[in-house]
Structure formats: structure tokens, C-alpha cells
Amino acid sequence: MQNLRSAQSGRPSEYFGELTFHQPAMRQYLPEETFINLQDAIHRGERIDRRVADQVAAGMKVWAISRGATHYTHWFHPLTGATAEKHDAFINPVEPGRAIESFGGKELIQQEPDASSFPSGGIRNTFEARGYTAWDPTSPAFLMDNTLCIPTIFVSYNGEALDTKTPLLRTLHFLDEVSTAICRLFDNNTDKVVATLGWEQEYFLVDTALYHARPDLVLTGRTLFGHSSAKDQQLADHYFGVIPERVTRFMSHLEFEAHRLGIPVKTRHNEVAPNQFECAPVFEEVNLSVDHNQLMMHLMEKIAPHHGLTVLLHEKPFAGVNGSGKHNNWSLMTNTGENLLSPGKTPGSNLRFLTFLVNILKALDDHAGLLRASIASAGNDLRLGAHEAPPAIISAFIGSQLSETLDKIEASSENTLVKHTKTKEKLLFNLPKIPEILQDNTDRNRTSPFAFTGNKFEFRAVGSSLNCAMPMTALNLMLADRLKKFKAEVDTLTNRGNSTEDAVLQIVKKYITASKKIRFEGNSYGEAWTEEAASRGLPNINNTPEAVSVFSRPEVISLFADNHILTERELRARQEIHYEQYTLRLQIEARVVGDLATNHIIPVAIQYQNRLIENVKGLKEVLDAKSYSRLSNHQIQSIKDISNHIMEIKTHVDEMIQERKTANRIDDPADKAFAYRDKVLPHFEIIRKRVDKLELLIDDELWPLPKYREMLFS
């Protein structure tokens, strides 16, 4: 498909990462000193000096050109949630008739794409329309279709973040700093902590020919109409079933290209809904894993058509069957390879584990609204709380064993936890033991949006099409901020003469009590939970405009600003873009609903109705009056039903268009988004219900759109 190999051949271990300028290629193409300098700078998160950049660029150029590259691009993540690139050729004319390939440190480090069309939420005025992209050396450059792609951040003329990567990197740095300081309360071996992410990507595949016959799928990524199929997922016969042959060919092809790009994809299986699937890699450092997920989604869309398939990454492409999510498995790992969310073998490492666990719970309790906001999208609104996906209420599941442990700590007096010895030292005593393997599959709660799964948290409310950078930024920041405060509280106590263990336990205990309401072990899909969550005062935010409004709460603004992740202006810009994206998506959907109803559905309904009318007239001619009145009733009723449906569809399409026009005149992005939510969106369901009824009435031969049973079962 792209350079080097024309077909899938060899073993994964032979071609893994061959399209990336990662450590093996760097060792081969960079002078040793440059390699060491680069790795050092990456490890310490320092700026790379120009001399080193020139040498890296020289090596990267030779590596890329020897693999057939003709162009290079900075690859970045603007606030649309997608990725962006603008290719430049290596070619550089040096005299008439002669050119050389050139690429230097300057081109590697920084570019100025004329990016004025990207959303900036009002950050850039026209006089400063340019944005800059700057090299992110922590994510390796890679080759895609003969183009050298260099992962970069994207900032404005004034250095304000215009992308999702910049704040993510800032939170990772912050989290490293504070987590390392916390680890050092327990031992001195830790000098770096990285956050880790393993995503599980769900998606649908549909036959490409059918896809193209559905304007709603093509333009909005989801079906706006469609009666459910007689059989869909009731029999649960798709989940983990035998993967269809065409899909296996697609998956193998996808994995082959992913492995060449160094994406460690490992797992693949059928999901619950028909034609729904999942793939998951081995976890990696968060920034790299986020880039890999963006790349993976791109590869999926690119490779599927080679197999006559189109991939749907939308959160809810089909009503009535499961939607798609992207579980984000998240943890923390030290430079010594220890998982901070793995319960330890000794009381000391157990205390460290409990410290991180309890800080996460407290952070979640403080900022549940922000976490919900970080996964807000029009598509995800259709999935969350639909009894097949986590509710819109954020809570955490930790399992019975851990719950008991936390309850015991909470109930204990300080003296039962810390034993005073003859020497002045205090020893941890009676700290509830936590076995290493915490949970087996019987103690898993699949209904929780945020579940502890033995050595990591699984954030399940993330939507399938979303860029993981946003939820990861929120989680990292919430935790880092909490750890910072935790450390300060511990320091205050130790300065007063308490031992570290004593101090840690006291604060841990306090946090357990303070964050109790965020813990929920029961069924999150149940009605009872909605009521209980309300009585606990937990937010239940089931729509994007409301979720996005959280970004302008004072505590959220100061969380981002005080920790130097995003200034208030940068955060408000993001909020504005969120509102705009929501409005635009609904605007497009509303247009497609109107167009399909008016130009595809109603004409066919009338055509079929005319047939019935002809039929009734014919019956009158051939039948005696008594038989006629008995036999024509059925058709006449159908004729009336069709008229009723048409009338309702027309009325609501007209009203929807009027509401859209009114909403479009609103200037304020928030008010506009709310108007779309309250005035435009409700018409979709009403129109859909009528259209789906018509689908059941009208001759199958005439129906203009592929049906659910066709799209989900071919």
C-alpha cells in the first residue's frame, strides 16, 4: 500500500515500526552524540537546541528519502478534533535546471502553515492569523504515503494553544512533577512518572456501496432514518463471534499497516451490535498513544475501502443497537517500571497505591463536571445513558475488596493503622492488606463510566470518534492538581512533627470521607441510580451545550489557569469552538433530515399512495358494491395513513427550518447551541418516527434508502 512493501509479508516483529523514525532508526541514522542529546532532552522535557535539531533533521531526511519519501509535513491536531497536514516537497532548486532535496533543523522545528481557517475561538484576529507548528520530539516522525509526517503542536502568533496536544503535553509534564514528588515520599528511586493510555476503539463497518446510497451516513456519519431490523442484537450472537472473512481481511491489512507505523495493536474482536467491531493496542505513554489513536482512525478510514467496506467511527450510527465508545485505560508508571495503580506487596507500596487511588477519587469528586465536559460531543450525547453505554453521571467503581479497604481505613482510628515503636519511628500496622490481583471478571462492573480494573482505571464514557487528548488532559490535570494539594497538606503535617506515613494516612483518610459520594458499585444503567445520584448531588449532564458550559465555571478556569495549562482566554476559546462544533453538526443534520424527508421519502410515499389509489379505483370497477366496500377498506386506510405521515413530516420539516433560521440569527455561540438543542433537535425524532412508519408501509422495491437489515447484515 505504501513504500517498501507492496503486500503484507513477513512477520510483525520484522516490520514493526519500520515506517517510524524511532529509536532503532535514530541509532542508525544519527551520530551517537546527537542520539544521546535528543533522548536526554526528551527525558527531561527540555527544549532541543538548534544544532541538535539540524543533525536530527539531516538523519531524518536521509532515512525518509531512502524509503521513498518526497514530501514532509508537520502533523498536528487542531481544535476540530481531527488531524491536519500541509505537505511540502523536499525538492529545492539550486540553479537553473538543477535541484536538490533539502530539509534542515529549521523545517523540522517550526512551520507556519497558513492556518487561518482552523477554528480558534476568536483567539486570532486577522492581523495575527498565522499559527505556528512546533516539533514534538516525544512522538516519533513517521512515513505516510511517501510523506514524512512530523508530530507537532499548533500555537498562535502569541503562543496561545490552538490544538489539543499543547495542553496535553503541559498536563503530562505537571503530572510527572507532582507524582514524582509523591513517590519520593515513599522511596527515592523514582525520578519520573509517565501516564499511560491503552484505548479500545469500537467501530462499525458497512458495505461501501450501501454507504454511498445513504446520504445521511455520507454527510453526518450516522443514519437519521431507518426502522430497526427484525433481528439485530437480541440473540447476542455477534459479540465475540467468528469474524466474517471480509472483515478479517480488512483487520489483517489494518494491523499490518498499523504495526509498520509502530502502533502496537494487539486485540481484535466482534462487538455487541451486528457489524460492530473493536481493536485495541498495548498501552503506551499517553501522548504517543493519543497520536497512535488518531493515526489508527485515519488508517481505518483509508484501508476499509480496499475491502469494499466503509468504517463508521460515529458514536451512534444506528438507532436501536449499541453505539461505539472508546474506553480509555489510564494509569501511571514510574521510570523503574512500576505501575502506581498496582497494589504493592509491602505495606509501604500499598500505602503509595492507596495514596494515588484516593487522590484520583477525590479529583474525580472535585471535577466530575469537567470530566463529563471533556467527552462532550453531539454524537456522544446519543450514546451516553442509553442503557448500552455509561450514564451521563460520572461516578467511580472500585470493586468490593477495595471498597472494604477504604471503608476500614475510614472507620479506623489512627492508632490502629500506625504502630508506635520503642524507637521514635512509627510503623505501618494493620493497614488492610490488598492482594495483588484485585479483581477477576466476576468483580467487573461494565456499567460504570470510570471503573478500576485491577491496575488501571477504565474511562468508558469516551466517544468512539473523539480525540483522546481531551479526556486525558482533563484526567491528568485533575489528578495533578489534587496531588499538588495533597503534597502540601502532607508537608504541613510533617513540618509539625508527624511522620510521613502518619501524615499520608491522615490525609488519605480525610479524602476517603470527602470523596465518598463519587463511589458507586451498583448498576449505573438503572433508574434507581439516576435518583440516588441526584440525591448525592452528582451532576447528570446529558447534553453537550450543558456539559460545555462547565468550562467557564470559576473553579475550572482556575484549575487550568493556576496550573499554567490553559489561560482563561484559551479555555474560553475552546468552549466557544465546542459550542460552534455542536451547532454546526446539528445544522448539517437538520439540513439532511429536511432534504431526505422532502426529496427522497415524501415523493416515494406519494408514488406508492397513487398506486393504492389506482388500485382502489380498479377494485371499484371490477367488484360489486358490497365486496368493494369490504375489500377496499384496508387500502383506503393505508392511503389515509400515508397522508397523515406525509402531513406530519411536512409540518415538522417546515417548523424545523423556521427554528433553524431563528437560531442562526443568534450571535452568542452558547445561546445558539442551546437553541439548536431545544428548538431544532427535538424535530429530528418526530420526523424520524413518521419516516420509519412509512418504511414499513411502502413497497420495498420503491424505498429509496438501504435498510438497517441490509447495512447491518452484509
- Which residues contact ligand ADP (rule: CB under 6 A)? 196-198, 200, 280-283, 329-331, 339, 455-456, 458
Angle formed at CA 42 by CA 37 and CA 47, multiple of 5 degrees:
80
Residue 582's CB is within 10 A of a number of other CB atoms, namely 26
Closest by Cα among 240, 290, 237 to 263 = 290
Tell me the residue nearest to ligand ADP as measured from the CB: 198
What region, left, alpha or beta, does residue 90 occupy, with left being phi > 0 and alpha being psi -120 to 50 degrees? alpha
Cα–Cα distance for residue pair 458/439, rounded to 1 Å: 14
Cβ atoms of residues 647 and 690 within 8 Å: no
By a kind-dependent CB cut-off of 5 to 8 A, residue 530 interacts, out of Mg ion, ligand ADP, none, with: none
Crossing angle between the packed helical segments 568-595 and 681-697, to the nearest 10 degrees: 30
Write phi, then psi, for 349 (nearest 5 degrees). -75, -25
Interface region with Mg ion, contact rule CB under 5 A, candidates 243-251, 326-334, 550-558, 703-711: 326-334
What phi, psi does 658 have (nearest 5°)? -60, -45
Q: What are the angstrom distances between the C-alpha of 577 and each of 404, 588, 638, 668?
A: 43, 16, 47, 12
Q: What, of Mg ion, ligand ADP, none, does residue 374 touch, CB below 5 to 8 Å by kind?
A: none
Interaction partner, residue 255 (Mg ion, ligand ADP, none; CB < 5-8 Å by kind): none
In the chain the first and final C-alpha atoms are separated, in Å, by 26
- Taking Cα atoms as reference points, which of 162, 135, 231 lies closest to residue 570? 162
CA separation (Å) from 241 to 34, 270, 273? 50, 6, 11
Q: Which does 653 bind (CB under 5 to 8 A by kind): ligand ADP, Mg ion, none?
A: none
Q: Which residues, 6+ apart, have CB-to-CB distance to 692 below 8 Å? A: 225, 226, 227
Least distance between ligand ADP and beta carbon 369 (Å): 24
Map residue 4 onto helix, strand or coil.
coil
The residue (of 329 and 380) whose beta carbon lies closer to ligand ADP is 329
**Cell numbers 473493536 label which residue?**
278
Show the beta-strand stretches assigned E in 532-676. Answer: none
In whole angstroms, the minimum distance from the beta carbon of 60 to Mg ion comes to 36
Closest distance of CB 452 from ligand ADP, Å: 12
Check: CB of residue 148 under 8 Å from CB of residue 108: no
Pick 119 or 198: Cβ nearer ligand ADP: 198
Rounded CA separation 297/294 (Å): 5
Residue whose CB is less far from Mg ion, 525 or 674: 525
Interaction partner, residue 331 (Mg ion, ligand ADP, none; CB < 5-8 Å by kind): ligand ADP
- Nearer to Mg ion by Cβ, of 314 and 327: the residue is 327
CB 690 within 8 A of CB 649: yes
Q: Do residues 286 and 197 make contact, with C-beta atoms less than 8 angstroms apart?
A: yes
Task: Note whether 469 and 164 are within 8 A (CB).
Answer: yes
Residue number, 456 or 688, with CB nearest to ligand ADP: 456
Looking at the Cβ atoms of 222 and 327, the one nearer to Mg ion is 327
Minimal distance in Å, beta carbon 195 to ligand ADP?
8
CB of 327 or CB of 362, closer to Mg ion: 327
Residues 203-262 that bind Mg ion (CB under 5 A): none
Looking at beta carbons, which residue is closest to Mg ion? 327
Determine phi and psi for 470, rounding to 5 degrees: -70, -55
Binding residues with Mg ion: total (CB under 5 A): 1
Kindly state the smallest distance separating residue 266's Cβ from Mg ion, in Å: 13
Q: Segment near Mg ion (CB under 5 A), from 320-328, 376-384, 548-556, 581-589?
A: 320-328
* CB-nearer residue toward ligand ADP: 246 or 268: 268
Query: Least Å distance between CB 242 and Mg ion?
Result: 21
Q: Which of 259, 260, 327, 660 binds Mg ion (CB under 5 A)?
A: 327
Taking CB within 5 to 8 Å according to partner kind, which of Mg ion, ligand ADP, none is near residue 339? ligand ADP
Q: At its nearest, how many Å lie between Mg ion and the CB of residue 281?
A: 12
Q: DSSP 3-state assignment of 444? A: coil
Return the residue matching grid coordinates 446529558. Answer: 542
Q: Which is nearer to ligand ADP, 197 or 299 (CB)?
A: 197
Tell me the β-bridge partners of 76.
84
Provide the minimum distance between the beta carbon of 446 and Mg ion in the complex, in angstroms, as a whole number: 9
Asked if residue 326 binds Mg ion (CB under 5 A), the reply is no
- Looking up cell 498565522, which residue turns up? 130
> With respect to ligand ADP, which residue has the nearer C-beta, 433 or 446?
446
Report whether 203 contacts 275 (CB < 8 A).
no
Closest approach of Cβ 353 to ligand ADP, in Å? 13
Helix axes 469-495, 554-562, angle to 10 degrees: 80
Q: Which is nearer to ligand ADP, 266 or 420 (CB)?
A: 266
Q: How far is the CB of 329 from Mg ion (least distance, A)?
A: 7
* Smallest distance, Mg ion to C-beta of residue 10, A: 30
CB-based contacts of 662, cutoff 8 Å, min separation 6: 675, 679
From the list Mg ion, ligand ADP, none, which binds 282 (C-beta under 5 to 8 Å, kind-based)?
ligand ADP
Burial degree of 232 (CB within 10 A; 0-12, 13-18, 19+): buried
Nearer to ligand ADP, 198 or 317 (CB): 198
Q: Binding string to Mg ion for residues 277 to 316, with x set by CB under 5 A, is what?
A: ----------------------------------------
CB of 369 to Mg ion, least distance (A): 24
Nearer Cβ to ligand ADP (250/283): 283
Nearer to ligand ADP, 37 or 138 (CB): 138
Binding-site partner at residue 132 among Mg ion, ligand ADP, none, CB < 5 to 8 Å by type? none
Q: Rounded to whole angstroms, how far apart are CA atoms 377 and 464?
A: 11
Nearest distance in Å: CB 335, ligand ADP: 15
Residue 454, binding choice from ligand ADP, Mg ion, none, Cβ under 5 to 8 Å by partner class = none
Q: What's the closest the beta carbon of residue 301 comes to ligand ADP, in angstroms? A: 21
Q: How many CB atoms lie within 10 A of CB 33?
A: 10
* The entry of ligand ADP, Mg ion, none that residue 202 binds, CB within 5 to 8 Å by partner kind: none
Contact 436, 343 (CB under 8 A): yes
**What are the DSSP E strand ranges found in 441-488?**
450-452, 457-459
Residues linked to residue 325 through DSSP beta bridges, in sequence order = 463
Q: Contact residues for Mg ion (CB under 5 A)?
A: 327
